[in-house]
Amino acid sequence: MTDLQQHAAERAGRRLGLGLLGALVVLVATVPLGILVRRGNPALVQTDTRWSDAAERVTAGSDLLRGVARTVTVLGEPVLLTVASLLLAVWLYRRGAPRLALYVVVARVGAILLAAGLKQAVDRARPVFDEPIATALGASFPSGHALGSAAFYATLAVLLQPYVRRHGLLLTGALVVSVLVALSRVLLGVHYPSDVTAGLFIGLGWAALCTAVFAAWRAEEGRPVDVAEEGLGTL
């Protein structure tokens, strides 16, 4: 291994450590929140209910806002994200990038499993209104739309980095789209604020962990890459 490869491998190793640290931070941030939700913490319930009621009133009084919320929320639709991930993975595989294809599949499948597992573990009921704007099935915590959006769009931003000069704009765009999807779920009255907050943190943490692990894998194969500068390239 050349000095350049050794240096890049060390960077990938540090990045893996940062990814694991990020996952730990997300775990520390979201597990207590899940416990509070599960136990029905009065302060959290009161705050969630107050903001959810306010969002429902605002949305119910504006046809434009309802239309925008319904449109934006489609960007986080689980079926759409799954189909998009599969199509992207197939395209990458056919282009000769099987590792990138696997990266996309792992990120999406992991997001699905995390959302389903946590929903079952916490088992929180969704907000209830006399005249609901929208309805949704399943438990409320965490928001699958928010979690899936954060993981998918962050992953997509990493994939596109080699083709865009201003990488910060990609990551910012991914975050903006994910936050808008999360807000749409609260505005439509199908999630509490803490549901979407947890979803965003978990989704971003999962995407960061997947990126760090795949970057380290590339380094171990003798093909290191600086993810922060090049994305995953031909991983």
CB atoms under 10 Å from CB of 50, counted, come to: 11
Domain ranges for the chain: 3-230
Average pLDDT of the segment spanning 91-115: 91
Reported as a pLDDT band with limits 50, 70 and 90, residue 5 is low
The pLDDT, as a whole number, for residue 231 is 46
Reported as a pLDDT band with limits 50, 70 and 90, residue 8 is low
Average pLDDT of the segment spanning 100-111: 93
Contacts from 60-67 at CB under 8 Å and sequence distance 24+?
A: 60/131, 60/133, 65/187, 66/133, 66/187, 66/188
State pLDDT tens for residues 221-231: 555 444 444 44
Average pLDDT of the segment spanning 96-111: 91
Average pLDDT of the segment spanning 202-208: 89
The pLDDT, as a whole number, for residue 110 is 93
Domain 3-230 sits in CATH at 1.20.144
4 versus 14: the higher-pLDDT residue is 14
The pLDDT, as a whole number, for residue 2 is 56
Look up the pTM and report it: 0.83
* Pair 184, 73: CB distance under 8 Å: yes
Coil, strand, or helix at residue 68?
A: helix
Give which of 170, 176, 187, 184 is closest to 150, Cα–Cα.
176
State pLDDT tens for residues 9-56: 555 556 566 666 666 766 676 778 888 888 888 999 999 999 998 988
Average pLDDT of the segment spanning 72-95: 94
DSSP 8-state assignment for residue 76: G
